[in-house]
């Protein structure tokens, strides 16, 4: 048995139904942990932390030391690709990211090519190399990137928006620029994830956080098709590396997404029930999810009951236990421990 095949996460991604599902959490290295806040203060600011390979590796390792998760996910941010392509990126305390906007042919013409991102992203690849050396042998290493649609929504609006309205508007009013930006992001994402794999990531995840605002043909064209293109290219280069796709709030769009894109696992948000997903999504392979993040704040018997219900619903197929979205800064670290204990004793 190889080292990779001994890792519970990798076994689930290979389609194995396990007695106890592997566990990790989106944003598990984050502000809810006092050790993270101390390291971020040492780095100075969020972007400095992302680009400091030693400190980024340290915060990635912190939740592994504290909780013994079955996987670590690289500490980085989905907006590093826009910055690598030449966009200005900064973070406003308490408000989130800000970017220079791409809304015209002239704006798009200023962007770098997809092969020109590697110098800027070199510290991220070094973080992966450090982690591949320092993680416990039983802990899998996950790389990641934002999906093109989600990243494009920030690049077009210059910030996060409640309904991704500016991106939808550009899609309708200047389809040529919108499509060109989507293609550039798709190609850059392939390069970025491929380099993470070369540096030591054992699996990678594609986060399409705003996929749910795409409906009908737009979902097919701008969520499903880019994922298929990225996964196909990565499989051609790295045929043994499994890929997790997360088209958040896709609803009925979750059905068949794995088969249509080639993803080895589909991550689920908590707007769909585990029972529904077991019947409609898990039949095609591994699923990941989908406890509501609020339980990490509120804890108690509700956390225990819902965790047990999710484990039970997915018991008859490959499953990775996770939240339906990232853990929030107001979460109680003790509730994370309770969740893990509940999953492993279910």
Q: What is the per-residue pLDDT across 209-251, written as a single tens digit (0 to 9) for each? A: 999 999 999 999 999 999 999 999 999 999 999 999 999 999 9
For 21-37, write each residue's pLDDT tens digit.
Answer: 999 999 999 999 999 99
Is there a catalytic annotation at residue 315?
no
Is there a catalytic annotation at residue 192?
no
3-state secondary structure at position 44 = coil
SS3 breakdown of the chain: % helix, strand, coil, rounded to 5?
A: 55, 15, 35
CB-facing half-sphere around the CA of 121: CA atoms within 13 A: 30
- Count CB neighbours of 153 within 10 A: 23
- Among 31, 66, 98, 308, the one annotated catalytic: 31
Please provide the average confidence, as pLDDT, over all residues in the chain.
Answer: 97
- Among 32, 36, 67, 154, the one annotated catalytic: 154
Is there a catalytic annotation at residue 40?
yes
Alpha helix positions (H), the chain? 3-6, 8-13, 34-43, 46-51, 53-67, 80-84, 105-109, 118-134, 148-157, 165-173, 175-199, 217-219, 225-237, 257-261, 274-280, 295-298, 300-313, 333-345
Angle at 176 between CA 171 and CA 178, to 5 degrees: 40
pLDDT at 1: 36
Domain ranges of the chain: 3-345
- Among 11, 51, 77, 184, the one annotated catalytic: 77
For 109-149, write each residue's pLDDT tens digit.
Answer: 999 999 999 999 999 999 999 999 999 999 999 999 999 99
pLDDT of 77 over the 80 cut = yes
Question: For 3-345, CATH number?
Answer: 3.20.20.210
CA distances 281 to 46, 72, 236, 256, 272, Å, are 36, 25, 25, 7, 11
Beta bridge partners of 144: 205
pLDDT at 346: 84
- Spatial separation of the C-alpha atoms in residues 163 and 234, rounded to whole Å: 30
């Amino acid at each position: 048995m190889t080292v990779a095949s001994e890792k519970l996460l990798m076994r689930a991604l290979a389609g194995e139904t396990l007695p106890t599902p592997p566990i990790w959490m989106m944003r598990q290295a984050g502000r809810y942990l006092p050790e993270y806040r101390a390291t971020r203060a040492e780095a100075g600011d969020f972007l400095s932390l992302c680009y400091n390979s030693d400190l980024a590796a340290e915060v990635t390792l912190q939740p592994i030391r504290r909780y013994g998760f079955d996987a670590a996910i690289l500490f980085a941010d989905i907006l590093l690709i826009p910055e690598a392509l030449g966009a200005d990126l900064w973070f406003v305390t308490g408000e989130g990211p800000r970017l220079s906007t791409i809304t015209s042919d002239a704006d798009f013409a200023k962007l770098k090519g997809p092969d020109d991102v590697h110098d800027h992203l070199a510290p991220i690849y070094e973080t992966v190399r450090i982690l591949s050396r320092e993680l416990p042998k039983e802990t899998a290493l996950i790389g990641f990137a934002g999906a093109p649609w989600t990243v494009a929504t920030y690049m077009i609006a210059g910030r996060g928006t409640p309904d991704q309205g500016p991106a939808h508007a550009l899609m309708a009013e200047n389809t040529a620029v919108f499509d060109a930006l989507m293609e550039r992001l798709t190609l850059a994402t392939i390069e970025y994830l491929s380099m993470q794999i070369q540096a030591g990531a054992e699996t990678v995840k594609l986060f399409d956080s705003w996929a749910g605002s795409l409906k009908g043909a737009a979902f097919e064209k701008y969520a499903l098709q880019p994922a298929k293109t990225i996964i196909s290219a990565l499989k051609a280069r790295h045929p043994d590396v499994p890929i997790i796709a997360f088209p958040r709030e896709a609803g009925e769009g979750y059905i068949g997404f794995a088969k249509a894109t080639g993803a080895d696992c589909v991550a689920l948000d908590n707007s769909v029930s585990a029972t529904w997903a077991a019947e409609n999504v898990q039949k095609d392979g591994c699923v990941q999810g989908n406890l509501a993040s609020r339980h990490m704040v509120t804890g108690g018997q509700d956390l225990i009951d819902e965790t047990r219900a999710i484990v039970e619903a997915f018991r008859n197929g490959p499953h990775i236990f996770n939240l339906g979205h990232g853990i929030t800064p107001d979460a109680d670290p003790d509730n994370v421990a309770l969740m893990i204990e509940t999953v492993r004793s279910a």
